[in-house]
Amino acid sequence: MNSRGFAIFALFMVQLLYGLNYTIAKKVINENYIKPFGFVLLRVAAAALLFWIASLFLPKQKIEKKDFFKLFIAALFGVVINMLFFFKGIEYTSPIHASAIMTIVPIIILLLSAYLLKEKITKFKIIGVALGLIGALVLTIYGKSARVGDNVPLGNLFIFLNAISYSIYVILIKKLTTKYHPFTFIKWLFLFGFIILIPFGYNELEMVEWQTFTPYITFSVLFVIIGATFGTYLLNPLALNKLKASTVGIFIYLQPVIAGLFALAMGVDFIDSIKIGAMLIIFLGVYLVTVKPKKAN
């Protein structure tokens, strides 16, 4: 397999792992094996350990002192805030809702880039932003979940806040990715994230009754840590090094497809006209935001 082929495979695997994660994480949380904040602390602590072990076998690179504060702030948005909101959101909303809302990340990044980095916004991009937000609002206000105990509007709001936090992280980390090898800053990112998360998740993690875990729940927890955290952060940089940002952006469309099919197969979600309509509006909005304008002859 050539390097581009491997990059596309890596990118597909990232979307597959994220897509499956919505249903797998929700099952662990909703069946009260681990509460959301405790799960986040466990996820980040274990992933941080894996990243630091992996870094022992990779070329060493020193981080400049001035960049440690940037890494700390990036960890706050990219690990702490977004993961806390994601797991709390997954507790209350459905996998299809959550994965559809996450596709508006490119729209949020565009708005932040325009405001913080002074990047130009075209007419098509403005229409795309409006459509994406309308789709997300329709999904939040009118969408329903298959689970009786869910609170869809609240869960969708948390997922939306998670998407905003993740988008801020992408903007913050932009310069660091060109300066350092991904593993150089990811291990620090997760270490800082772990330290910040301790007061949020310690009590919930302490309450976990490990002896009650079934083989499936054990597998699910390991999947979230190794697959949806360590694996995705390992494969993403490999894809980004070989592919254009626009190509990477298009692959986010796969997440709700994978998440939806898996959720339907597992019987934890259902599809209806509201979800399909809202998702199509969001997809159209994201397409208009990510499409490059044709150059005049």
Helix axes 82-92, 36-55, angle to 10 degrees: 140
Q: Is residue 295 part of a domain?
A: no
pLDDT band at 290 (very low <50, low <70, confident <90, very high): low
pTM comes to 0.84
Mean pLDDT, range 54-72, rounded to an integer: 90
CB 3 within 8 A of CB 225: no
Q: Is residue 264 part of a domain?
A: yes
Tell whether the model's pLDDT for residue 91 goes beyond 80: yes
Q: Is residue 86 part of a domain?
A: yes
Distance CA 265, CA 122 (A): 40
Q: Is residue 229 part of a domain?
A: yes
Q: Is residue 296 part of a domain?
A: no
Distance CA 139, CA 149 (A): 18
- pLDDT for residue 149: 61
Tell whether the model's pLDDT for residue 238 goes beyond 50: yes
Give the range of the structural domain holding residue 83, as residue numbers without chain letter.
3-290
| pLDDT tens-digit readout, 123-143 | 877 888 788 778 877 776 776
Distance CA 15, CA 256 (A): 9
- pLDDT for residue 1: 55
Q: Is residue 25 part of a domain?
A: yes
What total number of domains does the chain contain? 1
Q: Is residue 101 part of a domain?
A: yes
The 3-state secondary structure of 28-90, one letter per residue: HHHCCCCCHHHHHHHHHHHHHHHHHHHHCCCCCCCCCHHHHHHHHHHHHHHHHHHHHHHHHHH
Query: What are the backbone angles phi and psi of residue 64, rounded to the nearest 5°?
Result: -65, 145
- pLDDT for residue 297: 47
Q: Is residue 271 part of a domain?
A: yes
Tokens of 270: 């259902």
